[in-house]
Chains A and B, each alone.
Chain A
Amino acid sequence: MEQYINRKYIIGGIILLVGLVFTVRLFLLQVVNSTYKLSAESNTRRMEIVYPARGLIYDRNGQLIAHNLPSYDLKIAPYELEAFDSAEFCEILQIDIQTLREGIKRVINNQNERFNPFIKQLSSETFGKLKEKQFKFPGFYFSIRTLREYDREIASHLLGYVGEVDSGIILNNPYYELADYIGVSGIEYSYEEHLKGEKGRKYKLIDVHGREQGSYKDGRFDTDAKPGSNITITIDADLQEYGEKLMRNYVGSIVAIEPGTGEILTLVSAPSYNPSLLVGREREENYNKLKNDTLEPLFNHSIQALYPPGSTFKTVNALIALQEEVISNRTTYNCIRGYYARGVSVACHSHPSPLDLLHSIQYSCNAYFCNVYRKIMEDPDFESVEKAYNNWREHLRSFGFAEPLGIDLPYEKGGFIPKSDYYDRYYGQNRWKALTIISMAIGQGEVLTTPLQLANFAAIISNKGYYFTPHIVRGIEGIDSINSAFAVPHVVSIDSSYFNVVIDGMDMAVNVSGGTATWVRHRDITICGKTGTAENPHGEDHSVFMAFAPKDDPQIAISVYVEHGKWGSSYAAPIASLMIEKYLTDTIAPYHKWIEKRMLERNLLNVQ
C-alpha cells in the first residue's frame, strides 16, 4: 500500500495548481484589467419573445368571425434597471409607488418573472404617453401581443376564449412559458395546436441608457414568430345570430346540423354572452360576473345539458319495434285517453282511436307507444326482459345515445341510458319488468339526452339510417383534409326502409290537420317534426322539438329546447320552424312574421 503514498503529492499538487490558477485569474480580473471596473461592458443582451397572432376564424360562408388586435404589455428587464423618476412614471401609468416597488421586486427575485408583464394590456393612450418618454425609464420595455376581437358578437360558447397558462400546463408542455396565452374552452381549446402559431425570440443589444442598439450577433439566434393557421368553421354566422336573437328571452338550446355532412350550422346555448367580455383587462372580472350569474350563461346547454327527450323519443322506439318485428305499419292500438295496466297509468290527450303507427306519430299518442315499448321488452325472441332491454339499449347506442358523440368541442356530455344492472340495483335482479320502466316509452324517466344528440337523431331520420359525427371545424389553413373521423358515416342498426313511416308521421305532425305542431307549418317547405315535453321535476316542463327539412332533400336537421316552455308546440316548434325557414329561404315569410314577433316578445327567463 505504501507504494502509492507518493500519489498524495500529485493530489496536493493538483489542488495547489487550481488555487494558483484562480489567484492569477482573479489578479488579472480585479487588479490588472481595468475594463471591468468602468462599466465599459455596457452593452447588454435582452431576450424578447415575439408573440404570434392567433389564427383567424371564418364561418362557412367565408365571413370573418374573429380576428386579432395588438395589445401592449409593459415588461421589466431587471439587469437594465437604473434610477429613474418614479413619480413621473407612476403618474403616466396611474399606479401608486407601492405597486411599482412590488413589481420591480417580483421581477428581481424570480428569474421566471421576466416573462411576466409588469402591467398587462396597456390602454393605447397610456402606451402612447409612455412610449414617448421611454428613454427616461431604462429597464422598461414593451412587448406586443394580440388579443381577440370579434367581428360578430355571436357563438361565444363554441368559439370559447383564450386565457393564460397555469403552472400545470407549463410543466407538462415545454412550449408554454409564464404568461403565455392558451385556448381555454370551445374551439380555441380544441384547435389550440393549429390556432396558436409559434413564438419567436429576438435577442437585442441594449446600451446603458436602455436604448436598443440592434440585434445580438446579427440575429443569429433570433427566430421568427409564425402566425397560427386560419380556421373555417361549419357555423352559418347569420343563422347563428338569428338563433341567438330568437333565444334571447329563454333558457335552452338550438342545434342545427347539415345531415349530409354532420356539419353543425348553428349551436346556440341560451342565455348567451358577448364573447368580447372574455378578452383583455376585464376578462377576469367579467368571467366572475358570468360565473356568478344564476342563469349560468357560461354553461353550454347544447352539448352539456341533459334533458329527457320527451315524445321525440317515440320515433326511436317505433324504429326499434319495426326492426325487431314486434309491430308492423298496420299494428293498431286503442287509446282511452291514456294507458292503464296493472298499477300503471299514463295519460293521453284527446284524439281519434284506434290509431296505426303513422297516425300515432302524427297525434303523439302515449298509449300507442306504451304498447309498443311493452312489445319490445316482452319480445319472445329474448329469454328475459333484461336481455330484450340490453338489445334495445344497443340499438340506442348505434344512434349515438348514451355516450358523447365526439364533437370537436371540449366537455361534451354523453347523456344517460341506464344499463340493465342499474335497474337490478334499484329493484333487484329479475324484479323489474316492462311496466316498471314504461315511462321510457315516451322519453321520460331515467333517459337523458343532450340537445346535440337529439339534433343528430333528427339527422339520422332524415338520412334514413346513418350520420356523420357532428363537428364544428370545416377546414384548417395548410391542412388538406379535416379529421378523418368526421368523414366516415356511422350506420345505425335499423334498416333504412323502416324510416319511411316515421318520416311520414313527422310530416303529418306538422303538415296535416290534427298533427301536434301544425300551426308552424310552412307553405313551401315540407318540415318533418316531432314535438316533445321534457318533464321537469323542479318546475314547469321544458318544450322540445326536433325536425328536418325539406322532406325530400333534407338540408337541415334541428333540435330546440326551451326550458319551462311546457308543450313542444308552444315554443320549441315555432323557433325550429323559423330557423329552418331562415336557413332555406334566407327570410321569414310575411304570414310567419307574427310567429317571429311572438317568439321575440315572450319571455320565460323568470319562470321557475
Chain B
Amino acid sequence: MRRQIDIMANIDWLTVFLFLLLVAFGWINIFAVNYDPDASSFFHLENRYTMQLAWILISLIVVVFIFIIDSRFYLFVAYPAYAFGILLLLVVFLIGTAVHSSKSWIVLGPVSIQPAEFAKVAVILAIAKYLSGYNVKITRFKDIFVSLFIIFFPAGLIALQPDIGSTIVYGVLLLVLYREGLPGWVLIVILAMAGLFLGILVLSQFLIVLILSGLAIVAFTIVSKKPSSFFLAVLISISVASAFVLLNHYGYLDLDNYIILLSTVGIASAIAVIYAVVKKNKVIYLVVLALLLAIGYTYTVDHLFNNFLKEHQRNRVNVMLGLESDPYGYEYNVRQSKIAIGSGGFSGKGFLQGTQTKFRFVPEQSTDFIFCTVGEEWGFLGSFGLVVLYVGLLIRLIVLAERQRSRFSRIYGYGVLSILFFHFAINIGMTIGLLPVIGIPLPFLSYGGSSLFAFTIMLFVFIRLDSTRKAYLI
C-alpha cells in the first residue's frame, strides 16, 4: 500500500497533464474533421472520432498497467522487446498488407497494426540498455558501431517496406548518442553519408564523383598547407583527363565520360599517394582514402537503389524527393494545407466552422494533416498554443531525463523526447510548407490506434521510470 502511494506521489503530474491536453485537443480536431451532421449516431465505430475515443480509452487502460508493472521490468525486457520488434518487422514482409504500395501493416481480423510504430519503443529500450551497460563508452569504435547497428538495423527493415517516413525517424536517435558523448566527427560523417545518399538519388553519378573530387582537392590543399598545391592538383587532374579524352578522340581507347573520370581520379590518387610518401604527410592518405570510400559508397547506393528496389518502390522515393511528377498530389495537398491554416487568421473560424478542411482537402486530413484543422478552426492562438504545449512537453522531458540517477532511465528519456521532437518538427514543418512532405503522424493528435498506443506506451514507460528514480538505481 505504501509503495502504491509512493508511486502516485512521485509521478510527474505536469507531464501527464500535458499529455492529456494534447490527446483531448487532438480528439476535438478529429471530431471536427469527420463530423457529419447527416450521420446517424455518435456511437458508431465507422466514425473516426468514435474509433479514436475508443483508442484513447484503451490507451489509458494500458497506462494503468504500465504503472502497475515494476519499473525494473522495463530494463529486463529491453532486449527481448527488441528481438520481438525485429521479428514483427520481418513478419510484415511475409503477411503484411500494402497501403499506398507500402507493405507496412499486419491485419489481424478487424485490427490493423503497424509494427514500425511499436518497434520505436523497443529500439529506445534496447539502445538505453546497451549504452547504460557496464564499461560501454560511446567514444569507442566498437560501441559506436553496436549502437548504430541497434538503431539502423530495424530502420533498414522499415526502409524496405518501403516506409521512408518511419525510416528517417530512427535517424533522430543520433541525438541520444550525441547527448551521451558521441564524438562530433562521427555525427559529421553520418550526416555526410546521409547527404551523399540524397545527392546520389538527385544528381547523376558523374556529377557526384566530380563534386567529391573537387572536395578532395580542396581538402588536399588544406592538408598540404600550400596554396600552390591546389593549382598543381588541378593541373595534374586536367592533364590526365585530357590525355584520356585525346586517346579516345583518336580511337586508341573507347571509354565513356564516367570511366574517364574514374580513371583520372585513380591516377591522380596514385600521384597524391606518392606525394604523401615523399612529403611524409600521413593526413593525405586519409583524404585519398575518404575520396575512394565515398565513390565506392556512391556506387553501392546507386546499384542497390536501381537493382534492389522494385519499380513502384523507386517511384515512391523519387516522388518523395520531388524527382517525379506527383501522382498522389502531395504538392497540391501542401498548398491546400497552407491555405487552410492561413484562412484561420488570428483567432480561427471556430469549432466545426472550418470550411477549407471540411470538403476541400481530404486524404490524410485526420491523420498526417490534423494540424490544418487546428490552424483553420483555432487560428494563430490555437496553433501557437499547440506549439507552446509541445515545446513545453519536450523541455519538461529534458528536465526529467536530466534528473535521473540511472543512465538507463536518462537515455530512455532522451530517446522518447527525440522521437517526439522529430515527429513534431517534421509533421508541423510539412503542413506549413517548411519541409517536404513525409507522411508521419503528429504524436497524440493524429488519428490512428497504432501511433497513439505506441507514443503513449513510449511516454508513460518513461514517466514510470521517473517515478522510481529515487527508489532504484537501475
Q: Which A residues fall within an 8 A CB radius of B?
A: 1, 3-5, 7-8, 11-12, 14-16, 18-19, 21-23, 25-27, 29-31, 33, 35-37, 39, 41, 44-45, 47, 78-79, 81, 108-109, 111, 171, 174, 201, 203, 221
Complex CA gap A526/B336 in Å reads 79
Instruction: Write the chain B residue with the least CB distance to A108.
Output: B362
Given A19-B388, A25-B432, A26-B375, A12 contacting B395 (CB threshold 8 A): yes
Q: Chain B residues near A33: list those with CB within 8 A.
A: 342
Complex CA gap A502/B123 in Å reads 80
| 7 additional A-B residue pairs with CB within 8 Å, beyond A23-B384, A30-B375 | A5-B402, A19-B390, A21-B434, A22-B432, A27-B384, A39-B339, A79-B361
Complex CA gap A221/B325 in Å reads 7
Complex CA gap A18/B421 in Å reads 9
Q: Is B12 at the interface (CB under 8 A from chain A)?
A: no
Complex CA gap A404/B336 in Å reads 57
Given A27-B380, A30-B380, A22 contacting B341 (CB threshold 8 A): no
Write the nearest CB–CB distance from A326 to chain B, whole angstroms: 58
The reply to whether B363 and A111 form a contact with Cβ atoms under 8 Å apart is yes
Within 8 A of A (CB), among B361-413: 361-363, 375, 379-380, 383-384, 387-388, 390-391, 394-395, 398, 401-402, 407
Given A37-B343, A81-B359, A26 contacting B178 (CB threshold 8 A): no
Q: Chain A residues near B328: list those with CB within 8 A.
A: 111
Q: Is B470 at the interface (CB under 8 A from chain A)?
A: no
Complex CA gap A377/B20 in Å reads 88
The reply to whether B432 and A4 form a contact with Cβ atoms under 8 Å apart is no
Complex CA gap A23/B434 in Å reads 12
The reply to whether B398 and A36 form a contact with Cβ atoms under 8 Å apart is no
A–B pairs, 14, beta carbons within 8 Å:
A15-B391, A16-B395, A18-B425, A19-B391, A21-B434, A22-B387, A25-B432, A26-B387, A27-B384, A30-B379, A31-B346, A39-B339, A78-B360, A171-B98
Q: Chain A residues near B332: list those with CB within 8 A.
A: 44-45, 79
Q: Chain A residues near B181: list those with CB within 8 A.
A: 1, 3-4, 7
Complex CA gap A18/B390 in Å reads 11
Q: Chain A residues near B335: list those with CB within 8 A.
A: 41
Main secondary structure of the interface of B (DSSP, over half): helix
Q: Is B315 at the interface (CB under 8 A from chain A)?
A: yes
Complex CA gap A1/B179 in Å reads 10
Instruction: Write the chain B residue with the least CB distance to A203.
Output: B325
Instruction: Write the chain A residue with the least CB distance to B361.
Output: A79
The reply to whether A30 and B311 form a contact with Cβ atoms under 8 Å apart is no
Write the nearest CB–CB distance from A42 to chain B, whole angstroms: 10
Write the nearest CB–CB distance from B389 to chain A, whole angstroms: 10
The reply to whether A29 and B432 form a contact with Cβ atoms under 8 Å apart is yes
Write the nearest CB–CB distance from B47 to chain A, whole angstroms: 12
Write the nearest CB–CB distance from B294 to chain A, whole angstroms: 28
The reply to whether A174 and B391 form a contact with Cβ atoms under 8 Å apart is no
Q: Chain B residues near A1: list those with CB within 8 A.
A: 181, 407
Which of the listed residues A1, A31, A109 has the most CB atoms from chain B within 10 Å of its own CB? Answer: A31
The reply to whether B342 and A29 form a contact with Cβ atoms under 8 Å apart is yes
The reply to whether A8 and B343 form a contact with Cβ atoms under 8 Å apart is no
Q: Is B117 at the interface (CB under 8 A from chain A)?
A: no
Q: Is B345 at the interface (CB under 8 A from chain A)?
A: yes
Q: Which 8 A-B pairs have the closest CB atoms?
A: A36-B342, A19-B391, A111-B363, A30-B380, A4-B181, A221-B325, A174-B312, A29-B342
Within 8 A of A (CB), among B159-210: 175, 178-181
Write the nearest CB–CB distance from A25 to chain B, whole angstroms: 5
Instruction: Give per-residue flags for B412-443: 1 if the beta carbon is below 8 A from chain A beta carbons, else 0.
Output: 00100000010011001100101000000000
Complex CA gap A35/B343 in Å reads 9
Write the nearest CB–CB distance from A237 to chain B, whole angstroms: 40
Q: Is B329 at the interface (CB under 8 A from chain A)?
A: yes
Main secondary structure of the interface of A (DSSP, over half): helix
Q: Chain B residues near A23: list those with CB within 8 A.
A: 384, 387
Selected from A18, A22, A30, A171, the residue in CB contact (under 8 A) with B346 is A30
Complex CA gap A18/B329 in Å reads 27
Instruction: Write the chain B residue with the least CB distance to A80.
Output: B360
Write the nearest CB–CB distance from A340 to chain B, whole angstroms: 64
The reply to whether B391 and A26 form a contact with Cβ atoms under 8 Å apart is no
The reply to whether B311 and A174 form a contact with Cβ atoms under 8 Å apart is yes
Instruction: Give per-residue flags for B320-341: 1 if the beta carbon is below 8 A from chain A beta carbons, else 0.
Output: 0000010111001001101101
Q: Is B448 at the interface (CB under 8 A from chain A)?
A: no
Which of the listed residues A18, A30, A171 has the most CB atoms from chain B within 10 Å of its own CB? Answer: A30
Write the nearest CB–CB distance from A233 to chain B, whole angstroms: 32
Complex CA gap A35/B338 in Å reads 11
The reply to whether A30 and B180 form a contact with Cβ atoms under 8 Å apart is no
Selected from B178, B339, B380, B387, the residue in CB contact (under 8 A) with A19 is B387
Q: Chain B residues near A3: list those with CB within 8 A.
A: 181
The reply to whether B362 and A111 form a contact with Cβ atoms under 8 Å apart is yes
The reply to whether B315 and A30 form a contact with Cβ atoms under 8 Å apart is no
Write the nearest CB–CB distance from A100 to chain B, whole angstroms: 13
Instruction: Write the chain B residue with the least CB distance to A7.
Output: B179
Q: Chain B residues near A22: list those with CB within 8 A.
A: 387, 428-429, 432, 434
Complex CA gap A379/B341 in Å reads 91
Q: Is B96 at the interface (CB under 8 A from chain A)?
A: no
Q: Chain A residues near B432: list those with CB within 8 A.
A: 22, 25-26, 29
Q: Chain B residues near A26: list those with CB within 8 A.
A: 341, 375, 380, 383-384, 387, 432
Write the nearest CB–CB distance from B100 to chain A, whole angstroms: 9
Instruction: Write the chain B residue with the least CB distance to A26.
Output: B383
Write the nearest CB–CB distance from B408 to chain A, whole angstroms: 13
Given A12-B398, A26-B432, A174-B311, A31 contacting B345 (CB threshold 8 A): yes
Complex CA gap A12/B395 in Å reads 6
Which of the listed residues A11, A108, A203, A221 has the most CB atoms from chain B within 10 Å of its own CB? Answer: A11
The reply to whether B345 and A37 form a contact with Cβ atoms under 8 Å apart is yes
The reply to whether A30 and B344 form a contact with Cβ atoms under 8 Å apart is yes
Write the nearest CB–CB distance from A500 to chain B, whole angstroms: 57
Instruction: Write the chain B residue with the least CB distance to A44.
Output: B332
The reply to whether A79 and B342 form a contact with Cβ atoms under 8 Å apart is no
Write the nearest CB–CB distance from A93 to chain B, whole angstroms: 21
Q: Chain B residues near A27: list those with CB within 8 A.
A: 380, 384
Write the nearest CB–CB distance from B46 to chain A, whole angstroms: 11
Instruction: Write the chain A residue with the least CB distance to B421.
Output: A15
Selected from B342, B360, B398, the residue in CB contact (under 8 A) with A37 is B342
The reply to whether B362 and A78 form a contact with Cβ atoms under 8 Å apart is yes
Instruction: Write the chain A residue with the least CB distance to B98.
Output: A171
The reply to whether A4 and B180 form a contact with Cβ atoms under 8 Å apart is yes
Q: Chain B residues near A12: list those with CB within 8 A.
A: 395, 398
Complex CA gap A208/B236 in Å reads 62
Complex CA gap A174/B432 in Å reads 31
Selected from B341, B425, B429, the residue in CB contact (under 8 A) with A29 is B341
Q: Chain B residues near A81: list those with CB within 8 A.
A: 359
Given A19-B390, A221-B325, A8 contacting B179 (CB threshold 8 A): yes
Q: Chain A residues near B178: list those with CB within 8 A.
A: 7, 11
Selected from B339, B402, B421, the residue in CB contact (under 8 A) with A8 is B402
Complex CA gap A192/B387 in Å reads 54
Write the nearest CB–CB distance from B50 to chain A, whole angstroms: 16
Complex CA gap A419/B363 in Å reads 59
Given A111-B362, A201-B325, A36 contacting B343 (CB threshold 8 A): yes
Which of the listed residues A12, A14, A16, A22 has the most CB atoms from chain B within 10 Å of its own CB? Answer: A22
Write the nearest CB–CB distance from A39 to chain B, whole angstroms: 7
Complex CA gap A30/B344 in Å reads 6
Complex CA gap A25/B380 in Å reads 10
Q: Chain B residues near A36: list those with CB within 8 A.
A: 338-339, 341-343
Write the nearest CB–CB distance from A79 to chain B, whole angstroms: 5
Complex CA gap A109/B325 in Å reads 23
Q: Chain B residues near A7: list those with CB within 8 A.
A: 178-179, 181
The reply to whether A11 and B360 form a contact with Cβ atoms under 8 Å apart is no
Q: Chain A residues near B338: list those with CB within 8 A.
A: 29, 36
Complex CA gap A4/B342 in Å reads 42
Given A22-B429, A37-B343, A37-B345, A8 contacting B398 (CB threshold 8 A): yes
Q: Chain A residues near B391: list those with CB within 8 A.
A: 15-16, 18-19
Q: Chain A residues near B401: list those with CB within 8 A.
A: 8
